[in-house]
Structure 1
Amino acid sequence: MENGLFDRVEGDANVYRWSEQTQLEKGDSIVAGYMSELSDYTRISVTQNNLQELKEIWDQWGNETKQLFYGNYGDLPYLLDVQVDEHLFRALAQFWNPTYNCFTFGEVDLVPTVEEYTALLHCPRFQSDRIYSRAACVPAFWKKLMTITGMSEQWITARIKEKGECKCISWDALKGLILTHPDETKKVDIFALSLYGLMVFPRALGYVDEATTDLFHQLGKGVTSVPAILAETFRSLSACRKAGGGSFDWVPLLGIWGAIGYIPLLMLRQHGLKQFVPVTHGLAQSEFVYRGADYKKKVSEISSAWNKTCRLKGIAISPATTLEYVEWRGRRTSDNIPKPSVEGARPIEEYLRVMPSELKIMKQEFERKNLELEKRIAKLKEEKMYLSLDVDAPKMEVEKERKEKRKIEEDRDDLKEHYKKVQVSLKRARKEVQEGRTRAEYWERKLQEMQSQNLALEEENKGLKSKVTELGRSLWWHRSHDSTGELHQSRGQVKERDHVMGEAVAQIREVAEYVRDLAIRADVLSLMYGSSSDIG
């Protein structure tokens, strides 16, 4: 819109002239001759999170806690009681016109509006002109969760999971905080985050993703979530029509994952105003996701545009259209919308595309998921094979090292056992050496005693020899005297002493030999003990 209309409340006539002139100059959303590529029918699988635990927690809260929630986050809990009608979704999705982002029923266009969503949520904290926009530098996921929950970094990081391309935190972790958190305000904040993550912006079943947390983190600053919810509604419906299928996880209601165009001037009749030609140029190319190099610039431009809005001041009249609108509506190109028969009015059911049976749809869905699983399994098997090849080499090396370590330990144990035996043998040998030394000392003393006795005997023998000589002489002199018996007795004593001395000398030699043998064995054991100590 021209700068002259920014930040002002304009009358119906001024906006009417500006809109039709701009549409005339720039052209329509798509040109004549456009061939639709949409499928003939839309397959929708209504898969949603189990919200029963959220309902039970809400029902257990007292009126004071509920009023605190209403004051901060509006009437969001009422959506817990809304039942999802799969057949209604399937029927309505076929009438979604992605070219103009509206439902087209014959000659009438209907658009979900910001005003309707604002009234539905009824949140007093929302400021209508403060919209959510994805920041260029988004704080880390764990930092946002720390601010919302009041928990520590360690607690948060331990519970963050990877689901596909996004980071998430599980509902189980958040539920535990809701039930046990001592801070009543934090408890309400975590419950509201769970509602947004599981019901309004579901991404992975049972988890709240990072994009939802980024939006929720800005709600405390007066930012309204309505345009974000409305944008995701448009994007989801367009995705269903363009892909020929889609998934409504509860009610996917702008952009936490992307952005899309919205034409407020297309719904004037819904507010009881005169409908004129809206500006639609470039609308078909308005959708983009938050990926790539240019999306941040586009987000910045959109945020700036919301700071310069223009409101229409009109007088409510009975629904009417301008002639220019009727002409434009008749010649515009819509995108594969079911049209009524020219033969006359018929029930609305006949306007719907012929669709396969529920069983066939389920079968097709099962086959599609089965094929995806088979591809994923094949990919995982291939990755497993490569991983096993990568693991086998170090595994073999580790096994080799283990065997070597085991052998070294066995050798060490053998050496320890041998060392123990050597110590026992050495101790025994030392004992034997000690005993040998004791015996040697004993026999040395005995030897000394025997030597002393031998000396005494020799002295005595000399004396006896002298005495024998003297007796011999006396024999000659005393022939008459009988001294033969005394002589024999003396000779017997001499022989007996000679025999005793011979035995003593023999025993002394044996002891000397034994002591020498023990000394040799002690030297050998000392050498063995020294070698064993070096090895240990």
Structure 2
Amino acid sequence: MEAPRKSNVTYQFFDTKIGPLRQITALITPDHVGLFRDTYGNILPMVEDLDASQRSLIHTCLQFYDPQLRCFTFQDFQLAPLLEEYAMILGVPLQHCVPFNSDMPPPEHKDIDKALHLEVFLVKENLSSKGGLSGFHLDFVVDKAEECAAHRNWEAVCALLALGVYGIMLFADEPKFVSMSAIHIFLLKNPVPTLLGYFYFSVHNKNEKRRGRLVRCCAPLFHKWLVGHLPNDDGFLNPHQARNWARRLVVLTAKDSRWCNQNTKGGDFVVRCGKYPNVPLLGMKGCINYNPILLRRQLGYALTHAPKDQDLVESLYFPVQDNLELVKQAAGAWRNIQTKGVIVYGKCNNISSS
């Protein structure tokens, strides 16, 4: 299968200022690194400034996006991020329940206080707005983390750092601002479906318009996923050859790819939800389906036959704004999840949804 030929699209990524997050990270002593990782997973490596070569690799890969299949189509194979792969990279559990969506009521202040190990009413006093969004300015998060470190309140320091990573790196909306949506996802402890929806909807939307512009996704996370599937040799990943990414990617074949990680190989994976023949993803800006049936090989399963057309149809693609009923339908499908042929009825005690 040949990759589709089309004109290049210029994509841009958030120019994230990670200095304040590094400032909080420096507060955590080696004795408490384990506390952070055990509680919030492996999200600190996302606090990264991508260099020119890394950005060039991502930009080049996005040129291979196939909007019909919802994946990246190379010479004779397809690749695309899976829920299970993102969960493995981040070291956070993938919960089989209704993920964050715009139909959910915002969290209560007391629940935010509790999750951040802060005094009651502190959240109410420090919530502000930026760009029409409610949330915390990053300066508040940094100042409070420094204050908590001085009082040796390490649980609060770790929580504030994790919240900063969610708001500035994983779910960036406004520079140096942690939106209420990011706070809500942080409380739900199930970020992966939203991260994947954020990525697919943004890439698909920019590709469809052929104007490129800003891709709303965590670029370091996508880069780590992509590099994990590329040939693991210096000749291919040499950063000094950034100008040659297009030439190198266009000749990739199935035998060149590193297909699966040992931590995900042979495990269950979500193949469809509810009435949909594929998986509905609810991002922060829009909803879109993706087709994990095409990507079985990335989890160590052989593709024994071609997928059926009905498994690859566009089942949903729409912006969140002004489409609340469609959002409700997509969210409801997550109550009935099929994982590799097994029906799982999603339950999540900390979620209110209609």
The normalised TM-score by structure 2 is 0.67
Q: For residue 90 of structure 2, what is the amino acid of its counterpart?
A: L
Alignment of structure 1 residues 299-314 onto 2, 5 Å:
299-306=330-337, 309-311=338-340
Alignment of structure 1 residues 326-475 onto 2, 5 Å:
none
| Correspondent of 1:185 among 152, 155, 160 | 155
The alignment partner of 2:314 has SS state of helix
| Residue pair 1:163, 1:204 contacting (<8 A) in 2 also | yes
Structure 1 CA distance, aligned partners of 2:185 and 2:191? 7
| 1:267 and 2:295 correspond | yes
Deviations 1:108-136 (A, max 9, x none): 2112122221221123xx25424523374
Structure 2, unmatched stretches of 5+, are 222-280, 343-354
Q: For residue 77 of structure 1, what is the amino acid of its counterpart?
A: L
Deviations 1:131-152 (A, max 9, x none): 5233744135645533333244
| Residue pair 2:289, 2:317 contacting (<8 A) in 1 also | yes
Structure 1 CA distance, aligned partners of 2:180 and 2:309? 33
Structure 2 CA distance, aligned partners of 1:112 and 1:131? 20
Shift of the 300–239 alpha-carbon distance from structure 1 to 2, 3 Å rule, reads: closer
| Residue pair 1:49, 1:249 contacting (<8 A) in 2 also | no
Structure 1 CA distance, aligned partners of 2:326 and 2:31? 43
| Residue pair 2:87, 2:192 contacting (<8 A) in 1 also | yes
Structure 1 CA distance, aligned partners of 2:43 and 2:63? 28
Shift of the 238–280 alpha-carbon distance from structure 1 to 2, 3 Å rule, reads: farther
Alignment of structure 1 residues 185-264 onto 2, 5 Å:
185-219=155-189, 224-243=190-209, 244-248=211-215, 251=218, 255-257=282-284, 258-264=286-292
Structure 1 CA distance, aligned partners of 2:282 and 2:164? 18
Q: For residue 262 of structure 1, what is the amino acid of its counterpart?
A: Y
Matching residue of 1:74: 41
Deviations 1:420-445 (A, max 9, x none): xxxxxxxxxxxxxxxxxxxxxxxxxx
The number of aligned residues is 268
Q: For residue 192 of structure 1, what is the amino acid of its counterpart?
A: A
| Residue pair 1:51, 1:80 contacting (<8 A) in 2 also | yes
| 1:121 and 2:150 correspond | no
| Residue pair 1:73, 1:192 contacting (<8 A) in 2 also | yes
| 1:110 and 2:79 correspond | yes
Shift of the 255–179 alpha-carbon distance from structure 1 to 2, 3 Å rule, reads: farther
* Structure having the higher Rg: 1
Shift of the 195–63 alpha-carbon distance from structure 1 to 2, 3 Å rule, reads: same
Matching residue of 1:284: 314
Deviations 1:218-266 (A, max 9, x none): 11xxxx3222212212112112212321224672565341332121110
| Residue pair 1:111, 1:266 contacting (<8 A) in 2 also | no
Q: For residue 205 of structure 2, what is the amino acid of its counterpart?
A: A
| Correspondent of 2:24 among 57, 63, 86 | 57
Structure 1 CA distance, aligned partners of 2:45 and 2:120? 32
| Residue pair 1:234, 1:260 contacting (<8 A) in 2 also | yes
Q: For residue 85 of structure 2, what is the amino acid of its counterpart?
A: E
Structure 2 CA distance, aligned partners of 1:63 and 1:188? 12
Structure 1 CA distance, aligned partners of 2:166 and 2:6? 31
In the TM superposition, what is the alpha-carbon distance from 1:73 to its structure 2 partner? 1.1
Q: For residue 266 of structure 1, what is the amino acid of its counterpart?
A: L
The alignment partner of 1:304 has SS state of coil
Structure 2 CA distance, aligned partners of 1:122 and 1:241? 30
The normalised TM-score by structure 1 is 0.46
| 1:47 and 2:14 correspond | yes
Structure 2 CA distance, aligned partners of 1:51 and 1:280? 44
Shift of the 263–79 alpha-carbon distance from structure 1 to 2, 3 Å rule, reads: same
Structure 2 CA distance, aligned partners of 1:136 and 1:175? 31
Structure 2 CA distance, aligned partners of 1:141 and 1:90? 39
Shift of the 137–262 alpha-carbon distance from structure 1 to 2, 3 Å rule, reads: closer
Shift of the 106–141 alpha-carbon distance from structure 1 to 2, 3 Å rule, reads: farther
Matching residue of 2:70: 101
The alignment partner of 1:261 has SS state of strand
The alignment partner of 1:176 has SS state of helix
Shift of the 127–101 alpha-carbon distance from structure 1 to 2, 3 Å rule, reads: closer
Structure 2 CA distance, aligned partners of 1:285 and 1:133? 19
In the TM superposition, what is the alpha-carbon distance from 1:305 to its structure 2 partner? 2.5
